[in-house]
Amino acid sequence: MSAPTTVAGPAPASARGSRRAAGVQLRGLVPLGVLILLCAVISVMAPEFSSLGNLRRLLSAAAIPMVLACGMTFVILLGSIDLSVEGVIAVGAVILSLLVANGVNQNDFGLVAVPLAILAGAALGLVNGLIHVHLRIPSLIASLGVGFAGIGVATLILGGSAVPVTDPLVQSIAFQRLLGLPGIVWIAAAAVGIAWLIQEYTRLGRWTYALGGGEDICRLSGIPIGRVRVGVFTLAGTFYGLAGALCVAQFGEGQALIGQGFLFTVITAVVVGGTSLAGGVGGILNSVIGVLVVTVLSNGMVLMGVPPEYQQGVQGLLIIAAIALSLDRKRTRFVK
């Protein structure tokens, strides 16, 4: 008499969950591997890449995108998107440049003006969140409108011209060195630390992950979804306002288009770092790696003599590859 045939049933839910968690962890290590590989390849092809002076330039170039990524990460963790970056930077930069010693008026409020630029960014972020939540407008459209409005206001205030900043305290933010690194690098590091603390140890951080993972469950759990969304956009605007102030310090002037190009860079960096556009997966440290990947790639292409017209194309391919690697296709039933 033959033994009964055993039919294998579906894997237990715990086993499937363990495999899914392992897959997420593996995908999370991909950006770090890419960063290490990039550094190795570029160091071989352009030996000056690993020089101390170039490493300082790399960190300085990464500072402002790093601050912006702190804000954008929270928004993308929600499963939303924020296109207001360049407009908020413009408003913060114009406010700061007109309040410190400059070549246009007699104002000289010094570093006291920096918090005002940051508050202006937070105010625009608040407006962004309120429009998105209370008018039920998709974040893509709401933030795009706020961004255009910000650039329009900055252009109206300056009449299309630039304001040269002569305040030595503001200039020292970018060029004064501490332990061999410019002040702007230390400010970016502090911003990353604050963002990480908010992510890990506040209700806003925990609820941001929860909303990105599933809004219906959050609603049933009593999480104030509208307030969380408004809070996240306000927080993002705060970081953008700080980035606007750092732009003035680094470029030595304020103008309406001072933030041009940062939007694409920061979204690329956050996604390349492994924060999923679907929400709920990733975080601040992922975005730090993503910013370094984008900055190292850009710096390496310059050192290797890649023509500028090809550099954006490479970044475009990079973001497509990052999204392809970060998506869990087993959980994605529809592509909209």
Q: Which of 29-33, 102-106, 190-194, 295-299 has the lowest mean pLDDT?
A: 29-33
Report how far residue 7's alpha carbon sits from residue 131's, in angstroms, rounded to the nearest whole number.
Answer: 56
Q: What band does 25 get if pLDDT is binned at 50, 70 and 90?
A: low
Average pLDDT for residues 10-39, to the nearest whole number?
63
Average pLDDT of 155-167? Answer: 86
CA angle (277, 283, 289) in 5-degree steps: 95
pTM over 0.75: yes
pLDDT at 333: 46
What are the structural domain ranges in the chain? 64-259
Of 70, 95, 227, give the one whose Cα is nearest residue 150: 95
Write down the mean pLDDT value for the chain. 84
Query: Predicted confidence band at 336 (pLDDT cuts at 50, 70, 90)?
Result: very low
DSSP 11: P
Buried b (16+ CB within 10 A) or exposed e, 308-327: eeeeeeebeebbeebeeebb
pLDDT at 325: 63
Contacts of residue 293, Cβ cutoff 8 Å, sequence gap at least 6 = 31, 34, 35, 38, 269, 272, 273, 318
pLDDT digits (tens, 9 = 90+) for 278-301: 888 889 999 999 999 989 888 888
Q: Pick the closest to residue 288 from 185, 173, 211 (CA basis).
A: 185
Give percent of the chain above pLDDT 70.
87
Interval 80-108 mean pLDDT: 90
| pLDDT score for 121 | 95
Looking at residue 320, its pLDDT comes to 75
Share of the chain above pLDDT 90, in %: 42
Q: Are 189 and 242 in contact (CB under 8 A)?
A: no
Overall average pLDDT of the 150-155 stretch: 92
211-252 pLDDT, tens digit per residue, is 888 877 888 888 898 899 999 999 999 999 999 999 999 898
pLDDT at 26: 58
